Structure 1
Amino acid sequence: MSEAAVMPRGNAVAVVAAGTDSNGTARPDGRNRRAAETRRKIIEAAKVMIAETSTAPTVVAVARRADVSVRSVFQHFGDVESLFVTVLDAIGQDIVVPQQASDSRPLAERVASVVQGLAEVFDKIVPLRVAAGQFVDHPALIERGNAFKLELRKSTFEAFAPEFASLGEQAREELADAIGAALSLDAWIVLRRRDGLSFDRAAAVWRMTLEALLTHRFASVAAE
């Protein structure tokens, strides 16, 4: 990221709307279309580069890949972080999160469904998460990460509603915490990137882990 090191930085997500110039003045329709196309090319170039390298591309590299000027990139995005956050949102819109299994299905089927759904989503965003390392403290990324974790926690309660219903409040929260930690994006990255496991083997590890957590928790409750 040597080129990016000297680029302006800030907290803006995007400084120029598709239909306005830097002063907020509306552009003619022709300019609007060209601006929108340039913005699309910049975002698509950055998405492809992140998928290929798992690193955050520099503005210079994105401009070259999109066949636009560096100045054009900064006309649409205030800084490197803003471009990255916009790309993150664009990738998020491309991902379809599978619906969770009905809580009336057998536990083993629900475990398999939850793991498969999470694994498929996480496998698509691993390159983005790895690339986001240098922007880990960016407020927008923190906000989106926290929202994502809350959504996964909600899905966990829904998928295993019958099992959670038998627990006290503290036990429910502890089990949800354990599942959230064990089946997190960072945990998936460890299995796939650090340990080099195939998708199927990593998913099998997660199924065993989730089954073990559920079995242990309910065995402990039954023994009380």
Structure 2
Amino acid sequence: MAASRIDGRTLRSQRTRQAIVDANMDLMLEGNLRPTAVEIARRAGISTRALFTHFPDLENLFAATGEQTLAIQYAEYEPVPADLPLDERVERFCQQRAQMLESIAGASRAAQARLPFSPQLRQNRARHNARLRTDLGLTFAPEIAEASEDADLLVTALLVACTWPTWMGSRDDLALTVREATAIMIRTTHALLLTSSRAKDPRPSN
């Protein structure tokens, strides 16, 4: 019976913790860039005191929310086979990447606003970038291999083209639609890969 009570308390604690993370995420996805403790607690259906019991500071909450953000972003992710024609790979990768970025846009905007002041948010961003770098490396493996000593530079350039700050610049600063911003990402990614390939081609151009 004692073990059962402990298990029950643990389960309730886990549910409360998840409710807090869900509430914070929902508020950000709805456009609230800086949800307050009162707002998060109200959305989660708990007291503010209970919130701080589970998350004594914002960094702890940012860590848990970052894990959920990555899970949401990759919920429907499908790797693009590296043996497809380049044009098709670029199209499929960028279309999917655009959907992934839009799926967490609210959370990413909120993180961007607090990024300079939070080591945890910078760590979250580094984890997202590392995952993107891996995805790019797998999808465009043939072209990256051809780049030889410039391979790291090429991957970094592709990363810049497909990462959140660039997408935010297209969507927020330039007020592009999702379709327009996706077209820019496709064109930029394609140009980077073609430029790298031509740079390694010893044949003279006509």
TM-score where L is the length of structure 2: 0.86
2:44 — aligned with what?
66
Q: Deviations over 1:31-61 (max 9, x none)?
A: 3343333223222221111111241311111
User: 2-side partners of 1:71 and 1:52: how far apart?
Assistant: 24
Alignment RMSD? 2.1
Q: Percent identity?
A: 29
1:181 — aligned with what?
160
Q: Which has the higher helix share?
A: 2
1:20 — aligned with what?
none
TM alignment of 1:63-212, pairs within 5 A = 63-95=41-73, 96=75, 98-132=77-111, 133-169=113-149, 171-212=150-191
1:7 — aligned with what?
none
User: 1-side partners of 2:174 and 2:63: how far apart?
Assistant: 28
Change over 3 Å in CA distance of 1:40–1:183 after alignment to 2: closer
Change over 3 Å in CA distance of 1:34–1:188 after alignment to 2: same
User: 1-side partners of 2:131 and 2:8: how far apart?
Assistant: 41
Change over 3 Å in CA distance of 1:180–1:55 after alignment to 2: same
In terms of mean alpha carbon deviation, does 106-115 or 58-67 score higher?
Answer: 58-67
User: 2-side partners of 1:34 and 1:152: how far apart?
Assistant: 35
Change over 3 Å in CA distance of 1:194–1:223 after alignment to 2: same
Count of matched residue positions in the alignment of Structure 1 and Structure 2: 198
User: 2-side partners of 1:47 and 1:221: how far apart?
Assistant: 45
Q: For 1:173, what is the secondary structure of its paired residue?
A: helix
- Write the letter of the residue equivalent to 1:152: L
